[in-house]
Structure 1
Amino acid sequence: MEMARCLIVDDSSVIRKVAKRILSSADIMVTEAATGEEAIALSAHEMADIIIVDSSLPDMDSSDVVRGLMTLPSEGKPHILLCLSALDLGAIMRAKRAGAKGYMLKPFTRAQLLEHFREFRFAA
């Protein structure tokens, strides 16, 4: 099985760095984007298996980012998770309608983050 690929979309370099450290140690190839536009541009070039999208990006609404990612031509559709700092059912529902598979809350732990990858691998 080839190495899973993850794109972390968050305007916080600290969040991206922490997530990258956790995932890289689990043999997951990680790329980063600070904005929705950057995430869509990167994904048009190479689609990740799992994409973690921050709910409060500076340039785009998270549901628009999810929708943009889901409409890109790709062999397989990505497994998209919305990442929130507080539970916001409206944002979660909008992201799910746009194509997100689920959500997780910040700050996340190593175990929580890796659990989403286990779930994805069994669902794939």
Structure 2
Amino acid sequence: MKSCLIVDDSKVIRKVARHILETMQFEVTEAADGKEALDHVAQATPDVILLDWNMPIMSGMDFLRAYRSMNAVPSAKVIFCTTENGIGHIQAAIDEGADEYVMKPFDRETIESKLQILGCI
């Protein structure tokens, strides 16, 4: 079974994303900030990380930089999922190692299409 780590400080977003991913047969774990997510990936590498940008303690960008520097092999596909929609934000995320970018609010079709593009389903 494929696995996904949802990293978002919003419990509602995590719940919605969990529901979408579980209906797609993903095993889902959650983290409320980047620091918690780093602790999780140090223990087990998920197939996909759905990552929020703006979070307390450690932002999505700080998490992504730290995660990519860990040289985890294999590494997870990272999908930024955020309200930040400026081309500069998107480019910065891709430059730091994000594989895809999704705008909030999202739905099942959007997540599913990104997972297909990445070869995760």
Please confirm whether the aligned pair reaches a TM-score higher than 0.5, indicating the same fold: yes
Deviations 1:67-120 (A, max 9, x none): 111122433121111111141222222221211112000110111111122222
Gaps of 5+ in 1: none
Distance in 2 separating the partners of 1:102 and 1:21: 20
Distance in 2 separating the partners of 1:6 and 1:64: 19
Larger mean Cα displacement after TM superposition, 39-48 or 53-62: 53-62
AA at the equivalent of 1:8: I
User: For residues 89 and 62 of structure 1, do their structure 2 counterparts lie closer, same or farther at Cα, with a shift above 3 Å needed?
Assistant: farther
User: 1:79 — aligned with what?
Assistant: 77
TM-score, length of structure 1 as denominator length = 0.89
Gaps of 5+ in 2: none
RMSD: 1.6
Larger mean Cα displacement after TM superposition, 9-18 or 110-119: 110-119
State the aligned residue count: 121
User: 2:104 — aligned with what?
Assistant: 106
Distance in 1 separating the partners of 2:81 and 2:106: 9
User: 2:91 — aligned with what?
Assistant: 93
AA at the equivalent of 2:36: E
Work out the percentage of aligned pairs sharing the same amino acid.
Answer: 36
